[in-house]
């Protein structure tokens, strides 16, 4: 993690204004589509931003944060042991790191294989009753992206349902064209359809749809998102990742 030499009051103020602007966009999108604004939760994606940026966002009431990189996320949790923070794991997790995330996030959005789920369950600390997860769907069928293919989703969900101490709460996607909201919209609609049919098939509630980022969060909310993951429009551009 980059150590920065402090945010000025003006920078904190600007962050608060950007956060408020994103909240307004989500509320408007919910209203436009006849949904309750309370049905949509904003995850502030703080990856590659310093702990201080998280603290600044907390000053404006934000408590839900999303992180992508395991080591970085665990370091931030250690630096900010505040139990009011709800950490979400939204990045792809390599199998050999699955043991490090289990039980350490309120929700893991990126489960896309039975192996990953099995490690999460096996390595769940005794002190944590259950790990909530989302299944990540490769909604555009893009070879370079992680996520389970639509075709394999029902079988994966059924297999994971049989694993004790994991709770499938819904689906997550990262569609193609995430910088063009209208182009992303059909993929969001498709994820909701997949959720609806999986819910019927498994006969369990799958309330969560994690979809939408800075460029397309309104469309995601209009198509049913319950968790939107916004980084850039809150924290500004991300510093480059150090290897």
Residue in 184, 157, 159 with CA at minimum distance from that of residue 170: 157
* Residue with Cβ nearer ligand PLP (140 or 231): 231
From the list 174, 191, 198, 227, which residue makes contact with ligand PLP (rule: CB under 6 A)?
Answer: 174
Angle at which helix 9-32 crosses helix 51-58, to 10 degrees, equals 60
Specify which residues 132 forms β-bridges with: 167
* Residue with Cβ nearer ligand PLP (88 or 195): 88
Q: Give yes or no for residue 134 binding ligand PLP (CB under 6 A).
A: no
- Backbone φ and ψ of 32, nearest 5°: -55, -35
E-state strands within the chain:
41-45, 64-67, 86-89, 107-111, 131-137, 166-173, 208-210, 227-230
Min CB(203)–ligand PLP separation in Å: 29
Min CB(207)–ligand PLP separation in Å: 19
Residue 136 in tokens: 């990540």
Q: Give yes or no for residue 214 binding ligand PLP (CB under 6 A).
A: yes
The single residue listed with the structure tokens 């290897």 is 243
- Bin 56: left if φ > 0, else alpha if -120 < ψ < 50, else beta: alpha
* Residue with Cβ nearer ligand PLP (91 or 103): 91
Site for ligand PLP in 17-46 (CB under 6 A): 45
Min CB(210)–ligand PLP separation in Å: 8
Site for ligand PLP in 79-118 (CB under 6 A): 90-91
Q: Report the residue number whose CB is nearest to ligand PLP.
A: 231
DSSP per-residue letters across 216-227: THHHHHHTT-SE
Q: Give yes or no for residue 219 binding ligand PLP (CB under 6 A).
A: no
Residue 2 in tokens: 């980059």
* The one segment of 7-15, 18-26, 77-85, 230-238 that binds ligand PLP by CB under 6 A: 230-238
Residues that bind ligand PLP (CB under 6 A): 45, 47, 68, 90-91, 174, 213-214, 229-233
């Amino acid at each position: 993690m980059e150590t920065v030499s402090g945010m000025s009051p003006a920078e904190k103020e600007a962050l608060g204004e950007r956060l408020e602007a994103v909240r307004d966009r989500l509320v408007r999108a919910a209203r436009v589509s006849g949904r309750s604004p309370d049905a949509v939760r904003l995850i502030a994606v703080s990856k590659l931003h310093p702990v201080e940026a998280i603290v600044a966002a907390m000053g404006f009431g934000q408590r839900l944060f999303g992180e992508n990189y395991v080591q970085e996320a665990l370091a931030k949790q250690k630096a900010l042991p505040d139990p009011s923070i709800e950490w979400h794991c939204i990045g792809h997790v390599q199998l050999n790191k699955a043991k490090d995330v289990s039980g350490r996030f309120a929700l893991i959005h990126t489960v896309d294989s039975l192996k990953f789920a099995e490690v999460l369950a096996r390595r769940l600390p005794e002190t944590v009753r259950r790990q909530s997860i989302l299944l990540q769907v490769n909604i555009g069928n893009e070879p370079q992206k992680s996520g389970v293919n639509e075709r394999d989703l029902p079988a994966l969900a059924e297999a994971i349902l049989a694993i004790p101490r994991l709770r499938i709460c819904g689906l997550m996607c990262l569609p193609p064209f995430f910088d063009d909201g209208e182009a992303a919209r059909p993929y969001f609609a498709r994820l909701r359809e997949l959720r609806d049919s999986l819910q019927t098939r498994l006969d369990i509630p799958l309330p969560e749809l994690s979809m939408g980022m800075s460029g397309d969060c309104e469309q995601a909310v209009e198509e049913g998102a319950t968790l939107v993951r916004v980084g850039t429009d809150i924290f500004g551009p991300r510093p480059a990742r150090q290897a």
